[in-house]
Copies of this chain bind each other. A is one copy, B any other.
Amino acid sequence: MKKLNRNQRVIGITKILTDNPNKVINLNVFTETFNAAKSSISEDLMIVREVLHSMHMGSIETISGAAGGVKYKCDISEEHKERFIEELCELLKDTNRVVPGNFIYMTDIMYNPQIIQKAGLILASTFKDLEVDYVVTVETKGIPLAYEVAKLLGVQLVIVRRDTKVTEGTTVSINYVSGSSKRIQTMSLAKKAIKKGSKCIFVDDFMKAGGTALGITNLLKEFESELLGIGVLIDNLETPNKLVENYISLVELRGIDEEGSVNVNPSSRVE
């Protein structure tokens, strides 16, 4: 590659770093890619670090030693976070979302990459200083959000299933009681999916009583692994007594009033 000047190098460095959150990138990658001296790259990195930090777009950490390098960690400003959560509340308030049975249709939100990217960024920024091995979710609606959080934390996504598949090899299945409907349900996970002694985050779209989250805690025990945190997009406060205590959420839902309006506001559990 032809020699680039500083203006040009910082563009490539920004792209490479932000494409690889939480991954240690050796400085040789940059010196080779940009055909530049280590001292130049170090100065470039200082500029990138300063700009990303001042714009609340993330931090760059230096890891010393033979396996060292630099590592990008995501971030979001308080202002952007608040504005996004308010916009999300407005979206959810739309009365056209109410479907028969007084359910709120929110699939379009859960599968909208622009929304999920920001929601995932907020959750990942909250969990970014924990040492996490896996982000766990249960199929189906929370998968894009959990994937986004896993990507930003630089770890593997694990999807717990309702059924077992022949392509998964040996699976571990547990029964759990759904907190709201009191029905017994099953969740399954391939034995190969999680290594013993791992630390996990559970991410889901919606929390009612927290039965699923409690089920995940118990399932992880079968893998001798631990749940460090729980993050959901929407917390349904119509079920006030939760089976789990520590979790974060972006939005609180208090049901649908008699005029058919959705009662929703920014969560008190967002950090």
Q: Is there an interface contact between A103 and B140, defined as CB atoms closer than 8 Å? A: no
Cβ contacts under 8 Å, A99 to chain B: 167-170
Cβ contacts under 8 Å, A169 to chain B: 99-100, 103, 105
From A150-158, A248-256, A257-265, the one touching the partner chain is A150-158
Interface of chain A residues 141 through 187 with chain B (CB within 8 A): 143-144, 147-148, 150-151, 154-159, 161, 166-170
Give bound CA distance, A99 to B168, whole Å.
Answer: 7
Binary interface encoding of chain A residues 3-24 relative to chain B, with 1 for a CB under 8 A from any of its CBs, else 0: 0101110111011001110010
**What residue in chain B is nearest A98 (Cβ atoms)?**
B169
Contact of A15 among B8, B57, B103, B140 (CB under 8 A): B57
**What residue in chain B is nearest A47 (Cβ atoms)?**
B7
Q: Is there an interface contact between B101 and A166, defined as CB atoms closer than 8 Å? A: yes
Copies of this chain per assembly: 2
Q: Is there an interface contact between A147 and B150, defined as CB atoms closer than 8 Å? A: no
Cβ contacts under 8 Å, A154 to chain B: 113-114
Give bound CA distance, A156 to B8, whole Å.
Answer: 33
Cβ contacts under 8 Å, A158 to chain B: 111
Interface of chain A residues 73 through 127 with chain B (CB within 8 A): 99-101, 103-108, 111-114, 116-117
5 A-B residue pairings within 8 Å (CB atoms) = A18-B19, A103-B169, A105-B192, A113-B157, A143-B144
Contact of A14 among B6, B14, B107, B113 (CB under 8 A): B14
Give bound CA distance, A108 to B113, whole Å.
Answer: 22
From A48-56, A62-70, A218-226, the one touching the partner chain is A48-56
Q: Is there an interface contact between B107 and A190, defined as CB atoms closer than 8 Å? A: yes
Interface of chain A residues 1 through 46 with chain B (CB within 8 A): 1, 4, 6-8, 10-12, 14-15, 18-20, 23
Cβ contacts under 8 Å, A131 to chain B: none
Distance (whole angstroms) from the CB of A107 to the closest CB of chain B: 6
Given contacts A107-B193, A140-B161, A144-B147, 19 further A-B contacts (CB under 8 A): A1-B54, A6-B7, A11-B51, A14-B14, A15-B55, A19-B117, A100-B169, A104-B167, A105-B192, A107-B167, A107-B192, A114-B151, A139-B139, A140-B143, A143-B143, A143-B144, A144-B157, A147-B147, A147-B148
Q: Is there an interface contact between A11 and B8, defined as CB atoms closer than 8 Å? A: no
Give bound CA distance, A158 to B55, whole Å.
Answer: 33
Give bound CA distance, A104 to B167, whole Å.
Answer: 7
Leading 10 A-B pairs by shortest Cβ distance: A99-B169, A113-B151, A111-B157, A11-B51, A103-B167, A144-B147, A14-B14, A143-B143, A8-B51, A139-B140
